[in-house]
Amino acid sequence: MEELYKKSAVETVALLKAGEVSPLELVEVAEKRIEETDGAVNATPIRCFDRARAHAEKIMQGEVPSDGKYLFGLPIAIKDLTAVEGVRFTMGSPIYADQIAAHSDIMVKRLEDRGAIVVGKANTPEFGAGAQTFNEVLGTTTNPFDISKTPGGSSGGSGAALAAGQVWLAQGSDLGGSLRIPASFTGVVGLRPSPGRVAHGPAAMPFGLNSVEGPMGRTVADVALMLDMMVGEHPVDPISLPAPKYSYLEEIQKPQKFGKVAYSPDLGLNPIDAEVAEICAKAAEAFVNYAELVAEDCFDLTDGHDIFQIQRAAQFAAGHGPKLETDRDNLKSDVIWNIEAGLKLTAKEIGWAQRAQGALYHRVSTFFESYELLLTPTVMVPPFDHTIRSLSEVNGVKFDNYVAWLAQTYLLTITSCPAISVPCGMTKSGLPVGLQIMAPAHREDLVLRAAAMFEADHEYAGMVPVDPIG
């Protein structure tokens, strides 16, 4: 029983399905592991074990859905930006420190209906702002590979929980890179799906195209399994896509030879830490085993920084603007800055960003007529000190805002294409580094298959879970 936390989600679901372990037993395993490790990493500060046990008992008495999409009682974590009925729901903000969710997000309902058991809420920065996971309500989350370092964010609690073996799967969300950055920093796998692939809500702004929900796991197969459980249309989410007619988990078990694959060491714009650059370049070279050709190339992202910053600011102003009047003293400075930046935007600037994003999408579509995948480092740097709120420079290039160092991921966000981060190496100091793989819009199957082929030839999938170090 004590070794169950080390097994992958796919392996553990097989044990559940065979009746070799019960959902109640797994809840106990998760509870024990969280209690053993969370004092060091603070990944899952909100726990709901009584609720989980009640759900486990219900699953043990119920019937398996006929569509085959079922987790049979696997414990998972949900990011604390997403509502779980009856569970504390802070969003990392003092404004909502004592809030209890009155209902569950439709994404959570779907996961629970398909046999997932929520055992806790994973920590996040306030309103998911920034890629360093800390807030004034629940504290700072650290990296299990070195608890003096950050796990990234904003799904940092999810990444740290997986790396520490607290849960087998975890949900996260992604605007600027919040599924991919913590995956890179904690040695796990994080997939940013195409907008609409994972239905969620009800949301105050349901037509947004840049923020998505997605799966995180210790292996590519685990992520494919969770995505299978998350997909499908829902009337509450107006941009939600139909579920594919195939299983992502089954698709990655069909290796293929790709055509041309592009590698960009910096997306043509960004400073990259030398050690990260070396590790990712070596990983990209390995794709000669899976593709006809690997060439250094990228689509034009010259205006990408401005597109993202304008759209992010507009989103913060729309979503959080009223809080400046009612709760300004309870907002962290970065959130205030982002809201105010949005409120200063003109219609001309917002209109330009929308047109520029459209032009970028068409450039990307043309690019993928020649290439099947784009490879690039997930993050500019390896994990850094968790007391640093955000990086102010990399390789002597100075940044003028708290999210500029996320450019490796946010520049792919604005393409609306799926992207995954898969572990591809370790620094000399023993910290994980991720390779980012992007495919055309709606082709999650391609990024998952490519990541699975790379993972199968390397040993990085076996480096988690770890006991917190430091």
Contacts of 459 (CB under 8 A, 6+ apart): none
Query: Pick the catalytic residue: 7, 8, 69, 79?
Result: 79
Choice among 104, 154, 247, 264 that is catalytic = 154
Is residue 121 part of the annotated active site? The answer reads no
Q: Are 411 and 459 in contact (CB under 8 A)?
A: no
Choose, from 93, 104, 173, 178, the residue flagged as catalytic: 178
**Could you identify the residue written with the tokens 């043990």?**
60
Neighbours of 443 (CB within 10 A): 17
Catalytic annotation on 211? no
Alpha-carbon distance of 417 to 362, in angstroms, equals: 12
Show contacts of 400-406: CB within 8 Å, 24+ apart.
401/309, 401/337, 402/129, 402/130, 402/334, 402/337, 403/130, 403/131, 403/176, 403/309, 403/312, 404/305, 405/131, 405/380, 405/381, 406/131, 406/176, 406/177, 406/181, 406/379
With residue 425 as reference, give the H or E element that holds it. strand 419-426
Catalytic-residue membership of 421: no
Tell me the Ramachandran region of residue 325: left when phi exceeds 0, alpha when psi lies from -120 to 50, beta otherwise: alpha
SS (H, E, C) 190-243: EEECCCCCECCCCCCCCCCCCCEEEEEECCHHHHHHHHHHHCECECCECCCCCC
Residues with catalytic annotation?
79, 154, 178
